[in-house]
Homo-oligomer: A and B are copies of this chain.
Amino acid sequence: MLENLEKFTNIKRDVSEINLDPLQRGGILTPAAREALVEWGDGYSVCDFCAGMLDRIKTPPVEDFVHGALPEFLGIDEVRVTHGAREGKFAAMHALCEKGDWAVMDGSAHYTTILAAERAGLKIEFVPSSGEPDYAISPEGYQDAIERAYEHKGNVTMAVLTYPDGNYGNLADAKAVAGICHDYGVPLMLNGAYSVGRMPVNSRDLDVDIIVGSGHKSMASSGPIGVMGAKEEYAKTIFKLSSSKKNKEVELLGCTVRGAPLLTMMASFPAVVERIKHWDKEVEKARWFASELERLGMELQGDRPHNHDLMFFKAENLYEISKTAKKGRYFLYRDLKDRGICGIKPGLTRQFKLSTYGLSREDLEKAARAFEEIIEAHKKAES
């Protein structure tokens, strides 16, 4: 029994030079984070220095990071490190809502927001998007959704806005959404998994009550790790101390990321703060790349002009090719891979998402050229 275990070791990560997967673009470690990973890799190395509260460790400066830098960075009163955005969403819902309550969320919400609500026993009322091609989420939609929940005699105790959503990269008017939610006394949680660490996001400016971010998705950290911030009035409930174990926060089960991922997030932080200042360049690159793909016959969905590196394309021309291509619907994945590009899910042709985040203009030119070559090659093959 338990034989041939060597297959679990020495596994190489087989990815192409240019990875367009939105999941991966913001999580690439900085050199400093890579060093931290090796230095702090063992078990939960951070705990050597803990006197009972992870977020109060002074050396390494976890306390400075969690109670100083992160609240300023997110523009919010209290912050804790979590296992990821989804775990933050669940913790907030579990702490603030009662089973049977209602959560209102955008129709473009990430599946984990839905799962977090389901795990917390909440019913969901969605704010539908405007549909193709904009998929816009309107602030007024939140009013309607809250009203619909009221019609079910529901107690609405949480609203969530995905900012941007993970399909179309749309940035809704978060401040207007917050205003409407607050008119109804409902706290608004911002899911910033694709924004915090990529672009400027300030909870105070947007007037959101809770914010979650993802270290592995957008803060150049080794996963699993995320951040959760809350305004004081909600923080005291979310981060409530145990009734029997002093200094231990119930909703975090005492502490969360007790290992290397935390040190990678800290090590990357200066670079993350710096890269956010150049967000305009990222948007410019994204728009340029979108214009290239549109020139080739694909169609950008979502916000126009687009304001984020995450973009969704419809590509009827690629779909047509897939009908006759040798490799069928896998042709795009294979042909891109042959050209050193990955990140579009195998089998997708008619619609797919990608991200340009952190890629150089040269890499993006190479990627655009690859699409062009592939389309040309299949045109020739057909004629």
Contact = CB atoms under 8 A, between A and B. Distances in A.
Interface of A: 1-2, 5-15, 19, 21, 23-24, 26-29, 32-45, 47-48, 59-61, 64-65, 69, 72-73, 83-84, 86-87, 90, 94, 99, 111-112, 114-116, 118-119, 216-217, 220-224, 242-245, 248, 250-251, 253-254, 256-261, 263-264, 266-267, 269-270, 273, 342-343
A229 to B, nearest CB: 15
Contact of A86 (B8, B253, B264): B253
B267 A8 contact: yes
Given A8-B267, A61-B7, A266-B9, A261 B116 contact: no
Contact of A65 (B1, B8, B216, B245): B8
Contacts of A260: 37, 222-223, 260
Given A10-B35, A11-B39, 14 more contacts: A10-B267, A11-B36, A13-B48, A24-B44, A29-B41, A34-B41, A37-B260, A84-B258, A90-B253, A115-B245, A115-B253, A222-B260, A223-B257, A261-B261
Given A38-B38, A250-B119, A251-B119, A11 B263 contact: yes
Across chains A and B, which 9 residue pairs bring their CB atoms closest together, nearest first?
A27-B43, A223-B259, A5-B270, A8-B266, A44-B223, A43-B216, A44-B216, A9-B32, A86-B253
A241 to B, nearest CB: 10
Given A28-B43, A222-B41, A242 B115 contact: yes
A343 B42 CA distance: 15
A112 B94 CA distance: 17
A43 B15 CA distance: 14
B23 A216 contact: no
Contacts of A59: 14
A10 B32 contact: yes
A99 B11 CA distance: 43
Copies of the chain in the assembly: 2
A216 B86 contact: no
Contact of A12 (B8, B32, B39, B44): B39
Contacts of A27: 42-45
Contacts of A28: 42-43
A244 B118 contact: yes
A23 B44 contact: yes
Contacts of A72: 1-2
A90 B69 CA distance: 30
A267 B11 contact: yes
Contacts of A253: 86-87, 90, 112, 115-116, 119
B266 A11 contact: yes
Contact of A222 (B8, B24, B43, B256): B43
Max chain B C-beta neighbours (<10 A), residue from A9, A19, A42, A254: A42
Nearest to A40: B13
Contacts of A245: 111, 114-115
Nearest to A217: B43
Contacts of A264: 41
A99 B97 CA distance: 14
B2 A73 contact: yes
A15 B60 CA distance: 12
Contact of A224 (B11, B99, B258, B270): B258
26 contacts: A9-B32, A9-B266, A9-B270, A11-B263, A12-B39, A13-B39, A13-B40, A14-B59, A15-B48, A21-B48, A23-B48, A27-B44, A37-B260, A48-B343, A111-B245, A111-B254, A112-B253, A114-B244, A114-B245, A115-B245, A115-B248, A119-B251, A216-B259, A222-B259, A224-B257, A260-B260
